Amino acid sequence: MHNKFPSLSIHKSGVLRLNKTAVTALDFKHGDAFEVLQDEENPQDWYIAKTTNENALIWRKDSSGAMLCNVKYIADKILKSLGITGKAAKFRIATEEVEEGLKAYAIFTHSANK
């Protein structure tokens, strides 16, 4: 078995997918709420954060153990902010909180595999 890096795939169709390695490392469960956040000062910096906000996005687990959410406007916004014009991109994702207690994790946008 080879090690996979925790990653987030973003598809132009709107699908956000956390691989099983990321799901385990970040302790996401089916039905967990999350938000995708953009740094206002550095618009190419993006984060994924656990939340209790009732209007948040919700993860659903697929048969492989990955988590999915379909949210086209966010997928479009992220890909556009990074100048990605292909059908999808895959990014490594941090497993350490950006700030202790915040439950927000950096999406390494510079690691895009387009």
Averages of pLDDT over runs of 10 residues in the chain (114 residues) are 80 97 96 96 95 94 96 96 94 92 91 78
Residue with tokens 């169709």: 13
SS (H, E, C) 10-41: EECCCEEEECHHHHHHHCCCCCCEEEEEECCC
Beta strands in the chain, from DSSP E residues, in sequence order: 7-11, 15-18, 33-38, 46-50, 57-58, 60-61, 67-70, 88-93, 104-113
Q: pTM score, two decimals?
A: 0.91
